[in-house]
């Protein structure tokens, strides 16, 4: 059995792994500057998930009282057998990418300690060795340097067109060695 996750280049502060993209999808859905067709597509896809995908009850393995208030470490993954969910995620991915975000797909067979599961998804506390497609130190990961180089080119082209995310002023772009002014 395999698991699939759609991620952005940003890292979640609690778990340290790449953020999923539902937050960006909701933000774009509600943004009046986004094309009406894209907003409608996101609205329909997100409504489909609200109706068809169970909401996980747990995001950590704590069994104590107040587990729901604890810092969550659980990461949601789709089962590779949840073909309808994965197809909808690709639909959302296309809209998000058309609006200047880069989305990567991670496929794994082992995702860590599973704290919640249903027919479509699992929530797992990740193992220390979890792979990421957007490493901070690309040389520490197999294929990371190649991916970082390609991602750098894509981001540079998006910035040239005025649609990509811009680094903070004075920040060195690791893929291009350029300093943003």
Angstrom CA distances, 180 to 52, 146, 153, 170, stand at: 44, 23, 15, 5
The tens digit of pLDDT for each residue in 44-63 reads 999 999 999 988 876 666 56
Contacts of 26 (CB under 8 A, 6+ apart): 42, 46
State residue 15's pLDDT score. 66
State residue 143's pLDDT score. 41
State residue 140's pLDDT score. 34
Angle between helix axes 83-98 and 22-29 (nearest 10 degrees) is 60
State residue 26's pLDDT score. 95
State residue 124's pLDDT score. 86
All residue ranges of the chain with pLDDT < 70 are 14-15, 58-72, 127-162, 164-181
- The domain ranges of the chain are 3-131, 135-181
Q: Please state, in angstroms and rounded to a whole number, the distance separating the CA atoms of residues 75 and 79.
A: 13
């Amino acid at each position: 059995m395999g698991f699939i996750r759609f991620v952005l280049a940003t890292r979640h502060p609690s778990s340290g792994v790449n953020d999923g993209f539902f937050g960006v999808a909701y933000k774009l859905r509600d943004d009046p500057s986004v094309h009406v067709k894209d907003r409608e597509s996101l609205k329909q896809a997100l409504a489909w998930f609200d109706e068809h995908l169970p909401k996980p009850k747990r995001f950590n393995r704590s069994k104590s009282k107040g587990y729901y208030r604890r810092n969550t470490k659980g990461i949601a993954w789709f089962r590779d057998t949840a073909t309808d969910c994965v197809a909808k995620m690709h639909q959302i991915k296309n809209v998000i990418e058309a609006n200047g975000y880069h989305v990567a797909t991670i496929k794994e067979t082992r995702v860590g300690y599973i704290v919640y599961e249903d027919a479509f998804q699992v929530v797992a506390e990740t193992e220390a060795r979890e792979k990421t497609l957007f490493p901070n130190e690309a040389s520490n990961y197999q294929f990371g340097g190649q991916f970082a180089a390609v991602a750098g080119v894509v981001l540079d082209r998006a910035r040239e067109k005025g649609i990509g995310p811009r680094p903070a002023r004075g920040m060195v772009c690791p893929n291009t060695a350029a300093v943003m002014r």
